[in-house]
Amino acid sequence: MNVELKPFDQRTAEALADDQLRTTLRTVTTAILGFRKAGLGRLDDSDAWRDHARRLRAHTLSRLDTYLDQFVSNVEARGGHAYYAATAADAVRYVRDLATSKGVKVAVKSKSMVTEEIELNHHLESAGVKVVETDLGEYIVQLAHDRPSHIVMPIIHMNRQQVADLFRAKINATDADLVDIPAMTQLARRVLREEFVNADMGISGVNFAVAETGSITTCTNEGNGRLCTTMPRIHVAMMGIERIVPTVQDLSVMLQVLARSATGQNLTVYTNVVTGPRPRDGDGAEGDGPDEFHVVMVDNGRSRVLGSELAEILYCIRCGACLNTCPVFHQIGGHAYGGVYPGPVGAVLTPAFEGLDAFHELPQASSLCGACKDVCPVRIDIPRMLLKLRADSVDAGKSPWWITYGMRTLGWVGVRPRLFRWAGGLAARATRAMATDGWIRKMPGHLSAWTKSRDFPAMAEVSFQEQWKKKPSSHRKREETRFPGERP
């Protein structure tokens, strides 16, 4: 990203000091996880569906070039245009040049993580194009000059009063407009309807592209997505190159697990399949839709990730379930991660796309509890990749000096039994001296970060090795020769 970020420690400290944020996060994510459980419960043998969805993602990415070629051919056969953008700059240039050449003054957008990733709004606005976010959450984020804090719920970090204050300041809302949430929604609808009518270009994301038909699919719970893709004369669909499935039948599998994992719905309210521009028959009669349909397939580092040990993160279908279950996300929210993609998936995607220099702390923002893997609809092993990135950070010299030298010292002591036993005894006496009722309330120096939110147990007075030595030799021998799983 081009913006200068505050240090990670400062971002997390600010988030932890926001009690309202943490309360909102816990309330909303707990409810969503309950909806998810109920949604999957309505799907016969949901585990089998998830396994099948994972196999589909693995298969598709193993033949990504083949399916992208097929997709492009079918888009063009139906009168559309497909453009491969190797970099963010290439993607921005294509859309900006298209808007400029077609005289676009107003562009309306439905939600798209890829456009956030390449900062498309900023570049279009610098070219004189008014860009309006039309997803209600994204619209609120835009009014606040903020960033989304969740993949599915962009304003999970805001409450009703904060939104009301924003509407009053930015769009001259009256008390009647703000009396309740339906009234606020109606106000936003009235404002945005004018933008849809005046728009020259509609920009959408792509949840899935279908190789066999050249279609793109968008999944939303608001009608804005359908308006963005049909009312303006030009529709530009922005997709990451990994967001593709081979067939319509495969699409149906992915849709079965996406909405259930994201919000607990069987399907999103508006599950749209768009294939090409406005159709025209031989007599000149026209159907509905835009005059032009453009798909911009954004690489921006994905090919590099595909050839690495982090390739599995490209299986992600952006449901947000890993954020909803993550204990770290519950405490710090999305903004603390510093990138476009927050939560466990962002802790892998952001360093993978942006590099470890600015984001080497993100893989540390995890308890490695494995909850993200448990809820993932395609069973992505995020903990494994977090460990890989942690190791890469160490190799790149990104670890704090006290951890680096501390682990070197531990490694040196650990291979010297007498020194190890002596150091263990010294540490046990020191921790017991610092403890109250067996627990240390405040650790010294850098270790104090642990005890800011939880106590640390004092080490045992008698070590395991000392207890083992006190056992009768005959009993120790029986223990050593017992087979694994054998009952004592």
Amino acid at 464: F
Mean pLDDT of 307-333: 96
3-class SS of residue 380: coil
Q: Per the domain annotation, does 377 fall within a domain?
A: no
- CA 205 to centroid of chain Cα atoms: 15
Final residue in a domain of this structure, among 255, 280, 300: 300
Q: Per the domain annotation, does 453 fall within a domain?
A: yes
Q: Per the domain annotation, does 425 fall within a domain?
A: yes
Asked whether residue 105 falls in the same domain as residue 229, the answer is yes
Q: Per the domain annotation, does 349 fall within a domain?
A: no
Asked whether residue 280 falls in the same domain as residue 415, the answer is no
CB proximity list for 351: less than 8 A, separation 6 or greater: 359, 360, 362, 363, 389
Q: Per the domain annotation, does 27 fall within a domain?
A: no
pLDDT of res. 370: 95
In the predicted model, is pLDDT for residue 207 greater than 60?
yes
CA distance 162 to 482: 64
Mean pLDDT of 461-486: 71
Domain hosting residue 470, numbered range: 401-481
β-bridge partners, 298:
85, 240
Asked whether residue 295 falls in the same domain as residue 409, the answer is no
pLDDT of res. 289: 86
User: 235 with 229: CB under 8 angstroms?
Assistant: yes
pLDDT of res. 282: 59
CA distance 256 to 84: 29
Question: How many domains, the chain?
Answer: 2
Mean pLDDT of 413-432: 92
Final residue in a domain of this structure, among 242, 271, 300: 300
Final residue in a domain of this structure, among 284, 300, 316: 300
Q: Per the domain annotation, does 322 fall within a domain?
A: no
- 5: confidence class by pLDDT, cuts 50, 70, 90: confident
Asked whether residue 237 falls in the same domain as residue 124, the answer is yes
Q: Per the domain annotation, does 313 fall within a domain?
A: no
Q: Percentages helix, strand, coil for the chain, rounded to the nearest 5?
A: 55, 10, 35
Q: Per the domain annotation, does 354 fall within a domain?
A: no
Asked whether residue 426 falls in the same domain as residue 292, the answer is no
β-bridge partners, 62:
none
In the predicted model, is pLDDT for residue 28 greater than 70?
yes
Asked whether residue 269 falls in the same domain as residue 415, the answer is no
Asked whether residue 259 falls in the same domain as residue 405, the answer is no
Q: What is the DSSP string of 32-54?
A: HHHHHHHHHHTSTTHHHHHHHHH
